[in-house]
Structure 1
Amino acid sequence: MLKSYQGVIGITFTVKASRELKQRCKRDGLDTKASFFGTIDHFCLTEIVSPFISRLYGLTIKPIECKAYKELNDEFRNLLPNLEEVGNELKTEDYEMYESVFRALHQSGIILLESLGVVAVHILGNSEGCRKYIKSKYKSLYVDEYQDSSQTQHQLFLALLGLGLSAVAVGDVKQSIYAFRGSDPRYIKDLIDKPDVFEHHIVNINHRCHPSITNYSNRLFDSSCQLLPTQEIRVYQRVFNGTQLDVAKTLSKSINKLLIDGVISSFSDVAILVRNNKSLDFLKDGLEVPFRIFNDDPLSLINSDASKVMGSLLVYRYDQKSLISDTVELVSQYRSIALSEITSVRNIIKTMRNCSYLNKELVVDIAHQLLSREITNAEISALAGW
């Protein structure tokens, strides 16, 4: 039985998944106020780095802002590897090499986004206060999509486990798709190889896909695997000749034919998945049917308090199922809200739905009122790309 100030840590790969997980827990009548639901970067920033980095690096008079490598000036960028290049991800063993850079960034009011995991692991290992805080506040740790964990995330997970938290990791090596940014399925295999620490359970029933799709996927990994019985085939392989632009044009013809034949009722019934952003650019230039691009959410990449709050405000505006209490609770993670303020805070948030026309300036102003701080240019730019 958890005490009123205790909760669990729920780590998901996307902000959307963490929001859904939290809402499901609330629907079951669980009190989630003391629990954390979010991405690993957000956990590192809000629960470890921001509260405890000053104990190791000293105080700074400048407000701390989380920035990506590409946002740094040349003075700092030249002291670091090119973190925009694939394969140049920071690892825990790199900490000592770049500690002076991390300290200099901190004194300038900056925490490097790409270093969050590395710095968090160092703080957890060297701050007794941080360890006591985590041990007293959290009792369990749940990590989804563990096959996409990086080396630093894996080390952080093991460090939290070492504090006595019970832990559950969910993942499938067949679904590992983020090797290009440091993820490696060997880390979930490492957990499987620790029977004294982890119980390994296999989920071998797929409730999401038609059996023919499951068969296709399994055969890609094992040509001799046992196939599931099915009377219908719903997945096909096609090979196209030509450039990626030619493929886009061929896809356009196929999509139009599906519409004419009545297989689909609108273009929105079709989704095209690509391997990387470069392929996405080729596809965008070659498609001859109406389409909309879905890629990374700029606000979630910033990963600051303001970006999280602005994202929550936008969800509240456009998702009628979203509750005002979700945004109030999020704001309360970043600043104390007195009981006398609750009504005022709720009224400020309600402006998002009550206004007839929503623009960037209004969202920025509401976030400013809620957090009582200026919204940075980087955060405003990310909002503009939402």
Structure 2
Amino acid sequence: MIEFTHEQRLAIDYPSSMVLTACPGSGKTAVIVEKIVLDLASCKEFQGVIAISYTNKASDELKRRCLKALPDSKSSFFGTIDKFYLTEIIYQFLNHLWGGVNNLQVVRFNDLDSVVKDSLSVFFNAEYVCENIDVFDFKEIKNLYAKGFLVLEFIPLLAYFILCKSLACRRYISKKYNSMYIDEYQDAGFIQHLIFLKLFGFGVKTVAVGDIDQSIFLYAGKSSKYLMSLLDDDSGFKPFEITINHRSHSSIVNYASRMLSENCELLVTDDTQVYRTTINGSQQEVAKWIDDNINNVKQTFGISKEREIAILAATNSSVLLMSGLVRTKLRAYIDDDLSKLGGDVSLLIKELLSYRFNVLVTAQEIIDGLSIKVVERNALREMRNVIKYVRKADDSNFIPALRQAVNLLINKDFSAQHIDAVNAVLQNKMMLNNYLPVGDDELQLMTLHKSKGLEFDFVFHLDLYDWILPRREFIEGSFDLVFSNYEQCLNLHYVGVTRAKKAVALINSTERLNYQHELKRAKPSQFLSLRGVEGLYRNI
């Protein structure tokens, strides 16, 4: 039984719509789980909750913890916001507005011909379209739909359009779901925020959870301003805050806090577990230094498994570089083309890849993740068999097995792009790593963005260079320091530091290899000279 703090208990016991700001390691997931379990207790069998997480992995973990506390999730939805748009709004109700279409496919905007692109360009101005939703008939998108296509980039906008135009959709959402939880709200997009407010207006209890200081996806149109707007006195949302980082060593909490606020109050601590080092040389020497210190790190901090040690880099190119330089066994992660393709077909293929390569994933988990509720026993048996064949099939029959499973489970086929993306995964070890279970003897190497929501005993935080973190802009003829999204970069650094539970090493070097593998003189990151962090780290 978890003993909740006073802050956590206040948030759990509040029965209405609210906004919860939570620092790293503050136990926000435990709070969300407790609130969802309380909500489910009052749901009828046909009702449930909407629980939106930023990634499929986070969603699976939230669902697992909720089911552990209460085995019956009733008619709840656990998933990402994009999956919610597709399965609970678009696939359920677009046919009510525009008629049914067989074998609907999700395509990317860039894959359309230029004439169609030109006709759709207005829809990229989402704010303008949403402000004038009553006068837009979406005929250009409707014409593509009639041909069996949805444009990936316009799925959020289309979901909002349906929610505005379909009374059946509004009734369905408000009757089926008694509450909606959205985690990582600091990374909410414009339309996601509108839909959240729509549901609030329908009388659905809505709960936003986030941390302004962990907003790191501004480049993708995500912004912490929507979370901040919910904190306004007239928003209709009661604000709560949980402020104690229970995960990280107190010295890490102090360092991270002073990064954001140079005069903030410090926790009492009798030790310093934030380390800094400047390596003489380039990333090659950084890799050697990491190799030489792994055993010392394990012994000093009582770490038994290498998987509890992370190497975090600023970019995918840095991950690729370090993966070839570090000699200690590691697991490196980079994004694959399935993630870039998006859509429900790609999502299901990713789940089936995880099933093939990870014995811990079950066929029932994949079935539970579908939008349909299977009742008929023979149909359920057929679904299990087609999923199990994905694991049993030899390499030559793997693509046909995937195609058969996708066709049966969601009545769709996948394109040549999907086949190319799967083959790319199978041929690239780092892409395949996204689907394999992590070995206990493997270090974990990934970008700072990819580390969001994860935790490790020890973190090697790389790429603390001028020009890299924070990112600088080159202006010819000017010697002024001009940064690209300084606050976003600082938040990214903050995320990296706070992934560590026991200790973190902040690393830079006197030289660096750039993305063209040219050796450059390297200056330390401006983040290493932030006011307020003096005396809160050890030089090694």
Give the TM-score category using the shorter length.
Answer: 0.7 to 0.9
Q: CA separation in 2, counterparts of 1:108 and 1:65?
A: 9
Q: CA separation in 2, counterparts of 1:71 and 1:292?
A: 33
Within the candidate set 220, 224, 229, 1:185 is matched to 224
Within the candidate set 243, 257, 261, 2:292 is matched to 257
Are 1:308 and 2:347 an aligned pair? Answer: yes
CA contact (8 A) 2:174 2:203 kept: yes
Matching residue of 1:284? 320
Residues 52-95 of structure 1: CA deviation (Å, up to 9, x unaligned): 22344x23645322223333333333445599xxxxx6524235
Matching residue of 1:94? 129
Change (3 A) 1:370 1:188: closer
Change (3 A) 1:78 1:272: farther
Q: Return the letter of the residue paired with 1:48.
A: I
Are 1:28 and 2:69 an aligned pair? Answer: yes
Within the candidate set 223, 226, 240, 1:201 is matched to 240
Q: Which moved more, 1:27-36 or 1:362-371?
A: 362-371
Within the candidate set 183, 186, 200, 1:147 is matched to 186
Higher strand share: 2
Q: CA separation in 2, counterparts of 1:362 and 1:62?
A: 22
Residues 198-255 of structure 1: CA deviation (Å, up to 9, x unaligned): 22111111122221221121111100011112222222345679xxxx7533421321
Q: CA deviation at 1:19?
A: 1.2
CA contact (8 A) 2:53 2:184 kept: yes
Matching residue of 2:271? 232
Change (3 A) 1:81 1:233: farther
* Structure 2, unpaired ranges of 5+: 1-41, 426-540
Q: CA separation in 2, counterparts of 1:283 and 1:324?
A: 32
Instruction: Give % identity.
Output: 31
Residues 148-173 of structure 1: CA deviation (Å, up to 9, x unaligned): 10111111110111111001111010
Matching residue of 1:349? 387
Q: Return the letter of the residue paired with 2:56.
A: V
Q: CA deviation at 1:34?
A: 1.2
Q: CA deviation at 1:184?
A: 1.1
Q: Return the letter of the residue paired with 1:272.
A: I
CA contact (8 A) 1:146 1:188 kept: yes
CA contact (8 A) 1:41 1:303 kept: no
Matching residue of 2:24? none
Q: CA deviation at 1:261?
A: 4.9
Q: CA separation in 2, counterparts of 1:363 and 1:33?
A: 29
Q: CA separation in 1, counterparts of 2:158 and 2:383?
A: 34
Q: CA separation in 2, counterparts of 1:249 and 1:74?
A: 45
Are 1:77 and 2:114 an aligned pair? Answer: no
Residues 296-321 of structure 1: CA deviation (Å, up to 9, x unaligned): 35445544443333333333334444
SS of equivalent residue, structure 2 residue 265: coil
Q: Return the letter of the residue paired with 2:115.
A: E
Q: TM-score, normalised by structure 1?
A: 0.84
The count of aligned residue pairs is 372
Are 1:3 and 2:44 an aligned pair? Answer: yes
Change (3 A) 1:303 1:33: farther
Within the candidate set 106, 123, 134, 1:66 is matched to 106
Q: CA separation in 1, counterparts of 2:400 and 2:271?
A: 53
Change (3 A) 1:128 1:328: same
Q: Return the letter of the residue paired with 1:208.
A: R
The 5-angstrom pairing of residues 267-278 of structure 1 reads 270-275=309-314
Change (3 A) 1:335 1:36: closer
Q: Which moved more, 1:350-359 or 1:30-39?
A: 350-359
Larger relative contact order, structure 1 or 2 (CA cutoff 8 Å, min sep 6): 2
SS of equivalent residue, structure 2 residue 180: strand
Are 1:248 and 2:283 an aligned pair? Answer: yes
Matching residue of 1:296? 335
Q: Return the letter of the residue paired with 1:64.
A: L
Q: TM-score, normalised by structure 2?
A: 0.62
SS of equivalent residue, structure 1 residue 272: strand
Q: CA separation in 1, counterparts of 2:291 and 2:247?
A: 27
Matching residue of 1:359? 398
Matching residue of 1:376? 415
Residues 283-302 of structure 1: CA deviation (Å, up to 9, x unaligned): 52465225554233544554
SS of equivalent residue, structure 2 residue 238: coil
The 5-angstrom pairing of residues 120-131 of structure 1 reads 120-131=159-170
Q: CA deviation at 1:267?
A: 7.3
Change (3 A) 1:355 1:112: closer
Residues 343-371 of structure 1: CA deviation (Å, up to 9, x unaligned): 23223323344557683443333333444
Larger radius of gyration: 2
CA contact (8 A) 2:279 2:286 kept: no
Q: CA deviation at 1:183?
A: 1.1
Q: Return the letter of the residue paired with 1:69.
A: F
Q: CA deviation at 1:375?
A: 2.8
The 5-angstrom pairing of residues 137-176 of structure 1 reads 137-176=176-215
CA contact (8 A) 2:152 2:343 kept: no
Q: Which moved more, 1:362-371 or 1:208-217?
A: 362-371
Matching residue of 1:12? 53
CA contact (8 A) 1:364 1:375 kept: yes
Within the candidate set 112, 135, 142, 2:151 is matched to 112
